[in-house]
Structure 1
Amino acid sequence: MVVTMRLSTVILPIYRWHDEGREVWRRAEELGFHAAYTYDHLAWRTFRDGPWFGAVPTLTAAAAATERLRLGTLVTSPNFRHPVTLAKDLITLDDVSGGRITLGIGAGGNGFDATTLLRADEEPWAPRERADHFEEFVPLLDRLLREPSVTQEGRFYSANEARNIPGCVQRPRLPFAVAATGPRGLRLAARHGQAWVTTGDPKLYESGTPEQSVAALRGQITRLGAACQEAGRDVAELDKILLTGFTPGRPLQSLDAFVDFAGRHFDLGFTEIVVHWPVPDSDFALPPEVFEQIATEALAQLR
């Protein structure tokens, strides 16, 4: 089997559709990206006090504005989603896009929008609670996207004759890209994922080195392989996606820097690298000409 590297982008949902949004998503397709994703948050980091639109409506509009580009979330989480309503949205998105949707899904974290739906006397979920919710969320969502009618009662999520007809355009359902680094999440990726997503080791972002990051990612892939073996799957069946912007170093400072970065991570086993669409005056600021050069020339230099 010949494995090739794919290059994708993540477009923050910050653009008014008729001012810039439509053209940004169309430009992503013109540049030849494999996929364009967006974050599924209610608010996020330094963007909390500025424009921030919903992921599902944004992707629906992007599906209508593009023809070939794969679309998806990086990532959706149980922080404010329920499997039953999410399944209905995803089936609709998959239909509108003609089968171009990938669901990036993760356990979520604290901060930003994780407490938006909580009462004043409620505490945010601890890491174990997030993992508990995620462990129930993913298998139920899997069933909802595969089966025309689902009834299931769980500790956190239930479905009572939840109907999803006609189901996904992609069969047996649209692909899951599961974000995980811990043992429970990796087991979910092995059992239910068509891809696995990581941002690297967050402990290394501020003070680590690129070499330490590569070693940490190698360890994550090794643990993913062990989880796949336990689940009776070949780890090679899963695409391995690295979302950049959260590892040490500056891989986007130039085309040469990115080609070197992508080559080292391709050697680790990654099959897709995702770069943020440039946002001026933010952590994702980048000269447009450098970004477009990376988009159009980097993969050719890796072959």
Structure 2
Amino acid sequence: MNDGTITSEFLGRIPLSQPAEDGDKDQRGRVLVIAGSASVPGAALLAATAALRAGAGKLQIATCQSIAIHLGLALPEALVVGLPETPSGEIDPSTAVLLRERISRCDAVLIGPGMLDEQGVSALTADLLDCDPGAAFVLDAGALAQLKDIADVLARHKGRMVITPHAGEMANLLGVDKHDVLRNPAEIAGQAASLLHCVVALKGPCTYIATPDGATWTYSDGNVGLATSGSGDTLAGIVAGLLARGVSPLEAAQWGVFLHGEAGNRLAQTRGPLGFLARELLAEIPAIMAKFHKA
């Protein structure tokens, strides 16, 4: 594999597979989004909607009991599971046993958006990943914090995992200074990919995608308007939706970063360079994918 820059020309050489015209939603895969808290319910909504916009066929959301019905009404396309929660309004880590069977019937699983209790979500993530390989995983936000401690568990998933940290989360994950991440993003992304046996998308003005074998790609064609609340949740959801469709982890990261950035570029032209919302990115995704399909 050669390192390179992610552009529309590059992605034209690795097109997304298209479902058959007579295919059903099962053919497009099932995605489970484990996300949200009483304080940040919208993160689950953004990530889950993004998975559908990326083309996943079936969507499930697992979230805190107190916000489950609200998410179900906000996103009627989803099956929403309300989970026991902690007194602070977070998903109780003990719910791993309730989620494992559901995970076994899914093609892709996203863990982390909107989950604020770092210790609790780390414990839940470790328990959920300690399973037989099957579904592909996307780990974001709180789910990233203590991955270094379970590198042996991650290795069992044989690279079927994408993590999407920004510089601060990467620094916390590896136990280094954030300035070190900003100074050497390609090197740091590669170190994390090798250590954790996964594809890394290190988000920033230039996003670095790295694989365990040392290859690195960059995407820098987005815009500053993407640096807004909820933007990372949408990216994680897009990647999860692509994985559910059967796209490989590397290509899901490459396509996901591009689709996210191009959606921001379209909104910058129609709304203005600043002030568009993360939720507005989502409706742009299908048309961007369709442009490649027609070509």
TM-score range, shorter chain: 0.3 to 0.5
TM-score between both structures, scaled by the size of structure 2: 0.40
Tell me which structure has the larger Cα radius of gyration: 1
